[in-house]
Structure 1
Amino acid sequence: MRAPPGVGRLGSRAVAQRRPRCGSGSALDGSWPTMRCARFATRGGAGFAARRSPKFDCLRGAARWLLVALLLRVAGGAVAHGQPLGGADAAPARIIAIEFVGNHRTKQPVLVREMLVTVGQPFDAHQFEDSLQRLRNLGLFFRVSGEVQPAGPGQVVLTVRVVEKWAVLPLPQVDLTEEGDVKLGLDYTDYNFRGQDQRLNLKFKHALGTDTGGKAGESASIAYDVPQVGESPYDVSTGVGLATHNEAAARTALTGTRGGNATSVDFDLDVGRFERVKTWRRRSALGLTVNHITASEDQPRWLNSLRLSRSVDAVDDFVYTFRGFRAGGGVQLFSDWFGSEVSAAKITGEYTRFWKRDEHNVVGKVSGGYTFGVGARDVGFELGGGNLRGIDKASLRGAGMWLANLEYRSPRAWRWLGGACFTDLGVAGEEADLVDPSHLAAGGGVGVRATIGRLVKGVARLDVAYGTGPDGVGSLKVYFGLKQPL
């Protein structure tokens, strides 16, 4: 049977018989099943309406339905574990086809590579649900659901339905720095470039130089990420950037410049090898950064480095809330072996945990690092701004740092508007500063989260934070963005 337009299909043959439509629920989600179809979805069915009847008939009918529902619940448990209704000794139902519906822009191979079930193998409900969750974790879809439909004795057809998000985001940028400089720009991102789950980002920003003693400057960059190269377990990301004058410090943390007549050109290349386990993703990567700076004579001209990193991502995405953990660590080496005029070793590590209960979400993150070597001052750490809210951006600097973030996100009202409260705590400096309470900076505040479900990264946030730093002077800051801060 030929698949209709907009429907992708995998399988050895078409199903000759007409497949019945699904009911409003199934034995797999605990609602009333129809025995014709099992449905996996992000939202349960509406159930069936009660009939108006005399009291005695109502009680008798309720008892009958309860008994039938209990029997079908037991039978549905067999289907959920890939077993036929005939019993555990019978052969499991086999998958003869997998259909994809709704992927108008996303290419079918992107969906296929996320599936843990394949045509010809016995049906397993847990693997099918993990496959749907892997599709949600891509962040490209507003809704993902699945159906299991009988197609003959011992055979089933799987249908995966997706609703795509809008993945192209051309966003204007308006930024006012603490020093009074006004910056205007454009940030264009395609999160599903070529329909292949690849990411293309173009940025341009112009600093007007309105701050005292400042100069106008520009920054531009292009970045391209390929999360999987063909069928191989490798990914690649690369980027090129250019910045002049005041923007040289904003483009890259490696420049060590704070304005003035500086020009920075940098190139980044990162190649990783990953391993998929259910919905988890483990990754080892090797990265190279080449950064050339034209500035005053007392500043280095080349800051080249090699990065080694290891990470695991076990976070499940539910559009507004998240569950699981993410951890990673790495070493970045600056050496004359790579043509760098700075010699240093930078070690970093971080751990993020998401706790989810319904739409209540608590997020905790700890991170830290230290830089060793004679060039530690030039390639150290900076805190303040988005990572330590309430503190001036990049106002805390040093060879080492540690940072703790804690945030609570409330359920949404009207299905789109939620709230948040948070606290950030951290310090940056030399060895003794990291354990000195007088160098500690802290901030906290409240915010709102507006879900724009049809957009990739579609959570608009507005945070108001008050912080106090080592100088003891507190200030009120406002932050806006289009994704969750943690």
Structure 2
Amino acid sequence: MMLAASWTVQAAPEESTDPAAAATVATPATPAPSAKPEDLIGKKVAFIEVAGTVNIKPETILAVTRLKPGDEWTPDKVRQDLRLIYEMGTFADVTADFAAIPEGVKVIYNVKENPVLKGIVLQGNNKLPKDKLMKLMTVKTGEVLNSKTVAANLRAIEESYKAEGYILAKTGDVNFSPDGILTVRINEGIVEDIVVKGNTKSKAHVITREMRTKIGQPFNAKDARVSMQKLYNLAYFEDVNLKLLPGKQPGGTVLEVSVVEQKTGTFSIGGGYSASDGLIGIINVGDKNFRGTGDDVNIHWEFGGKASTAGNYSVSFRRPWLDRKQTSFGFTFYNMINQYTDFDSGGNEVSTYDRRYRGFDFTFGRPVNDKLSHYITLKNRWDDYKGWISGKNYETDEPYKSENYIQNNFGLTRSVIISRVLDTRDSNTNPSEGVRYSLSAEVAGLGGDFSFNKYTAEGRRYWKVGKSQVIAVRGMYGYGTGHIPEMQKYMAGGIDTLRGYRDDQFKGNRLFATTMEYRFPVAKRVMASLFTDVGNAWDSDSFEFLKDLKFGYGLGIRIVTPFGPLRLDYGFSNQGGRTHFSFGGQF
């Protein structure tokens, strides 16, 4: 008669360690009668057996156990072995029997093997392809299912989803059928609804249409970040926050979008007086989120003054979404007369005159994706010479009169412009990272007075340095052929190209311009910059590039106001210093 006991494996396995040498399986002698479990403590282990194996050799199991024949028997050592065997992952149940025998203690590990894996079925994987996920399932068909390997495989699947931005994806629903089929149900974390809060003016659909995250699709953190940036780039909101709320279905979520709106409308009124024009009034009204629809509307009107300049106006409209493919449409109508001055390369006045420009343009655009867009513009513009003020008179002075300067440079320009823009900037108003590359081709003719082609390339790049400092670089190159009138030539000089020189001081059918700026904050909504500009515009193909380049440098201030951003720069050049002021953002 022997006294025996049985233990079952604990639910929480301890950390496994390297196995010792395998024990020898032997047949024990007849057990001694009458022994209590407490009497086994301190006795030597005589024999260790494994029972219940079908496909796994006992030696494989004994290779991972710590308790060996000749060791002192203790309950802790047996419990440790139970955990080590269970952690092999190939058993559904592990127990231990032990008994006192004349030779010492006999230990029997009873195991119940998992079924043999015959197939794997993945369900619910709509965003990641089956082939990619199956490569992560390293459990092998035809072998005993290893639950430890399966658990590692499921974690690998979840990590693969997270790497793609699907942070809510889970693989908790796993079933292993008696016929050996492992079924893994993947819950990708579906967005059940999108709730918009804080939008007192903007329509809800104006916000949700900008978001890559859609109802009925799995939540993606990368898409959410892009969506936030797109909402900021609208310039309708001071703040945008996204919050995930529990959904009604298991694993589902509700995306809450909270916005803080800012003023998008502008209204300004001004005036002036001059001896030549008299009293002039100016009204400008606009809204880049008209009635909360996302439409951009602007009206500029000048009244009073002499009859020739009274009634100057421009009207612009842009609708960013015409259809679900985000086709955009915009137009501008304008009729303006202003005083314009031509300069020579030294910055001296050549001629000052009144110029009227009037016409319209229509632009259609459509994105290829969030970063790449195409645009096509039809331009119809008349430039008229309205009268001499000072300097050379293009109508009466030579050689302009005999060369038909007016007829060759003023008239109707009708053209089509096709452009392609790649934009990865983190903000289109105040970028700190990313690039913006654009290519455009303008073909003029189409019944107009001038026939020419212009090809322009521009690149911008931004680097964030330190906490809030930015290095910004821009380069432009333009190449034109044909009869390009004076008003359609490339121009360099002024706040957008060469600071320290007069506005549009250099003109030609070729353009090269590059700018580097170091930008840093000095106060809330105020940025300062140190800049250097290099470039020129010219007509001659024999242009001596390095010799004729112009250089400017200086410092500037950018102020964000309720009426929009203001720029104030002071540039130095070989022609002295010059102040430049404008409304609008920087490149």
Aligned partners of 2:376 and 2:418 also within 8 Å: yes
Deviation readout 1:255-301 (Å, 9 max, x if unpaired): xx965465332111112222223xx2x22222111123444673243
CA-atom RMSD in angstroms: 3.5
Aligned partners of 1:94 and 1:121 also within 8 Å: yes
Letter in 1 for 2:464: K
Q: Where does 1:85-484 land on structure 2 (aligned, <5 Å)?
A: 91-152=187-248, 153-172=250-269, 185-205=282-302, 219-244=312-337, 246=339, 260=353, 262-277=355-370, 280=371, 282-295=372-385, 298-299=406-407, 300-317=410-427, 320-335=430-445, 338-357=446-465, 358-375=467-484, 377=486, 379-387=488-496, 388-413=498-523, 415-432=524-541, 434-452=543-561, 455=562, 458-468=564-574, 473-481=575-583, 483-484=584-585
Deviation readout 1:393-425 (Å, 9 max, x if unpaired): 111111111100111111353x33332111111
Aligned partners of 2:469 and 2:519 also within 8 Å: yes
Task: Say which is worse superposed, 376-385 or 264-273, in terms of deviation.
Answer: 376-385
Structure 2 gaps, min length 5: 1-158, 175-183, 343-349, 386-394, 396-403
Identity of aligned residues (%): 23
Cα distance, 1:450 vs structure 2: 3.1
What secondary structure, in the 3-state scheme, does the structure 2 residue paired with 1:132 have? helix
Letter in 2 for 1:283: S
Cα distance, 1:379 vs structure 2: 2.6
Letter in 1 for 2:298: N
Q: Using the alignment, how far apart are the partners of 1:364 and 1:478 within structure 2?
A: 19
Instruction: Give the structure-2-normalised TM-score.
Output: 0.58
What secondary structure, in the 3-state scheme, does the structure 2 residue paired with 1:410 have? strand
Cα gap change, 1:320 to 1:400, in 2 (>3 Å):
closer
Structure 1 gaps, min length 5: 1-73, 210-214, 250-256
Aligned partners of 1:386 and 1:485 also within 8 Å: no
Letter in 2 for 1:229: L
Cα distance, 1:248 vs structure 2: 11
Letter in 2 for 1:374: H
What secondary structure, in the 3-state scheme, does the structure 1 residue paired with 2:488 have? coil
What secondary structure, in the 3-state scheme, does the structure 1 residue paired with 2:556 have? strand
Aligned partners of 1:235 and 1:272 also within 8 Å: yes
Cα gap change, 1:133 to 1:81, in 2 (>3 Å):
same
Cα distance, 1:431 vs structure 2: 3.3
Letter in 2 for 1:111: I
Cα gap change, 1:175 to 1:370, in 2 (>3 Å):
farther
Aligned residue number for residue 83 of structure 1 = 169
What secondary structure, in the 3-state scheme, does the structure 1 residue paired with 2:424 have? strand
Cα gap change, 1:283 to 1:435, in 2 (>3 Å):
farther
Cα distance, 1:341 vs structure 2: 1.2
Q: Using the alignment, how far apart are the partners of 2:375 and 2:484 within structure 1?
A: 24
Q: Using the alignment, how far apart are the partners of 2:545 and 2:217 within structure 1?
A: 60
Q: Using the alignment, how far apart are the partners of 1:393 and 1:437 within structure 2?
A: 22
Cα distance, 1:155 vs structure 2: 2.3
Task: Say which is worse superposed, 386-395 or 117-126, in terms of deviation.
Answer: 117-126
Aligned residue number for residue 33 of structure 1 = none
Aligned partners of 2:570 and 2:577 also within 8 Å: no
Cα distance, 1:391 vs structure 2: 0.9
What secondary structure, in the 3-state scheme, does the structure 1 residue paired with 2:412 have? coil
Aligned partners of 1:426 and 1:441 also within 8 Å: yes
Aligned partners of 2:166 and 2:189 also within 8 Å: no
Cα distance, 1:325 vs structure 2: 1.1
What secondary structure, in the 3-state scheme, does the structure 1 residue paired with 2:206 have? helix
Cα distance, 1:369 vs structure 2: 0.6
Deviation readout 1:276-332 (Å, 9 max, x if unpaired): 23xx2x222221111234446732432211212211222222875432111111111
What secondary structure, in the 3-state scheme, does the structure 2 residue paired with 1:196 have? coil
Letter in 1 for 2:471: V
Cα gap change, 1:208 to 1:476, in 2 (>3 Å):
farther
Cα gap change, 1:232 to 1:424, in 2 (>3 Å):
same
Q: Using the alignment, how far apart are the partners of 2:570 and 2:309 within structure 1?
A: 29
Cα gap change, 1:352 to 1:175, in 2 (>3 Å):
farther
Instruction: Give the structure-1-normalised TM-score.
Output: 0.70
Cα gap change, 1:188 to 1:355, in 2 (>3 Å):
farther
Aligned partners of 1:219 and 1:248 also within 8 Å: no
Cα gap change, 1:248 to 1:163, in 2 (>3 Å):
farther
Cα gap change, 1:170 to 1:109, in 2 (>3 Å):
same
Aligned partners of 2:320 and 2:326 also within 8 Å: no
Aligned partners of 1:367 and 1:403 also within 8 Å: yes
